[in-house]
Amino acid sequence: MNINATLIGQTIAFIMFVWFCMKYVWPPIIAALEERKTKIAEGLAAAERGEKEQKLAEKKATKVMHEARIEASDIIDLANVRAGEMIEEAKGKAVEEVAKVKKGAEVEIEQEVANAREALREEVSVLALSAAEKIIKSEIDANKHKKLIDDVSKQLGAA
Amino acid sequence: MSGENLTSSEYIKHHLTNLTYGQNPNGSWGIADGSDAAKEMGFWALNIDTMAVSVILGFVFIYFFKKAASTATAGVPGGLQNFVEWVVEFVEDSVKDSFNGRNPLVAPLALTIFVWIILMNTMDLVPVDYLPHLASMMGVPYLKVVPTTDPNLTFAMALGVFFLILFYSIKIKGAGGFFAELAFHPFPKYLMPFNLFLEGVSLISKPISLALRLFGNMYAGEMIFILIALLPLGTQWMLSLPWAIFHILIVVLQAFIFMTLTIVYLSMAHEESH
């Protein structure tokens, strides 16, 4: 309980410990704390930035998808229209073709009919002539009755 | 109880006597035999136990904090680093709360005071007979294990703080400014002597109150531990356990008070005017 030179000794020890603490203990710990603080702050900021960017990207993606959908429906519409047009065109062509074929067929048929009629007429006239010849072999002279035969043949041809 | 041949008052006295090395009145140098002999040695004597324990504990503080400081990184902290950082942040927050100036000394000073006093106070929780008994078996007659129960130590720290107060008061305000602060408050100039007396007392009372508060608390606490140790063996723990638990609070609280008041006093020294 006596005040003695311990006072001086303790003061020296105290100063030494404070000095050492100030020089070698405090600064590195505080530096590490500050560094960690900035690191954490940076991390948080980066996370926030990332979140913001993600939201932005999501918005962009939605927009792009929306546009794509509109474009797709446009394309489908166009395709539908084009398909309709093509069908119409094809129909028109087909009708034309049909008409052409029909006309050709009709012409041919007519031709055939005319041919057949001609052949028939000739045959009939030959038959008629031969029949007439057989009937009136003796009585009708081919020369004498030439005019008559021609008339008959002409009449048959007109029929 | 240490010796059967000791009376209670001798036992208490023995526990409260420092191991003092100095010059005996007869001219020889050596360990003082009892506190009366230590008193006769005058000022030029050294309390070896106080010095040794406090310096060892100071080195404990320096060792662990330096270890944490040299491995400190901004990455994930380990156990020791975590603890040290927690203490450092606590001290830094206290400094930021109370200290308004800019001074790179104050925070490390506060940290040293806080941790060192806690370590020294914690010696109080070591059962009162362990270390003195061990020392007496090794031939050391006296050992007071709690350095903060030696007023030499508490006054040394308080005086260190006091000199810092004076130094920064003069450095920041100038000698004239510091004198003006002492002389022209709280009353007008013509009452200067009265002001000087008042402010002088309040200035001087700062280190004295710092030193005596810590010393008184720890001395009284130690004294009660010693008194409890005088009780019969079976009943000691009933008192020493609650007192030890309560004392944990005192240990930390006194260190905290010493640190906070140091910060506040230094903050006042840095402020230009009242």
Q: What is the pLDDT of residues B95-118, one digit of tens each?
A: 999 888 788 899 999 999 999 999
Sign, CA torsion B177/B179/B182/B183: negative
Confidence of residue B23 (pLDDT cuts 50, 70, 90): confident
pLDDT at A139: 65
User: Percent of chain A at pLDDT above 70?
Assistant: 94
- Percent of chain B at pLDDT > 90 equals 42
Share of chain A above pLDDT 90, in %: 59
Searching chain B, which residue's CA lies closest to the CA of residue A16? B58
Which member of B35, B45, B112 has the closest CB to residue A18?
A: B112
Cβ of A5 within 8 Å of Cβ of B44? The answer is yes
| Of the partner residues A6, A20, A32, the one whose CB lies closest to the CB of residue B74 | A32
Q: Is the peptide bond before B108 cis (omega within 30 degrees of 0)?
A: no
- At B181, the pLDDT band (50, 70, 90 cuts) reads confident
Give contacts of A25 with chain B, Cβ < 8 Å.
62, 65-66, 69, 108, 111
pLDDT of residue A141: 65
Instruction: Read off the pLDDT of residues A61-118 as tens digits, 9 standing for 90 and up.
Output: 999 999 999 999 999 999 999 999 999 999 999 999 999 999 999 999 999 899 888 8
Q: Name residues 45-74 of chain B within 8 A of A (Cβ).
A: 45-47, 50-51, 54-55, 58, 61-62, 65-66, 68-70, 72-74
Gap from B108 CA to chain A (nearest CA, Å): 5
Q: Classify B96 as helix, strand or coil.
A: helix
> Can you tell me the mean pLDDT for A47-64?
96
How far apart are alpha carbons A26 and B111 in whole angstroms?
A: 8
Looking at residue B5, its pLDDT comes to 60
Give the residue-averaged pLDDT of B135-162.
Answer: 89
Residue appearing with tokens 């030696």: B150
Among all residues of B, which ones are annotated catalytic? 209, 213, 217
For A90, phi then psi, to 5°, come to -60, -40
Give the number of domains in chain A. 1
Q: What is the mean pLDDT of chain A?
A: 88
Alpha-carbon span B29 to B42, nearest angstrom: 13
Helix (H) or strand (E) holding B9: helix B8-15
Chain B residue closest in CA terms to A29: B69
Average pLDDT over residues B171-188: 85
| Least Cα separation, residue B5 to chain A (angstroms) | 24
State which amino acid sits at residue B220. Answer: A
Does position B89 have pLDDT exceeding 60, yes or no?
yes
* Burial of residue B15, with CB atoms counted within 10 A of its CB: 0-12 exposed, 13-18 middle, 19 or more buried: buried
H-run or E-run covering B258: helix B233-270
Q: How high is the pLDDT of residue B3?
A: 46
pLDDT at B273: 59
Domain of residue A108: give its range: 3-158
pLDDT recorded at residue B39: 82
Supply the pLDDT for residue A1: 61
Q: Do A17 and B116 touch (CB under 8 A)?
A: yes
Rounded distance, CA A5 to CA B274, Å? 37
* pTM of the shown model: 0.74
CB within 8 Å: B111 and A11: no
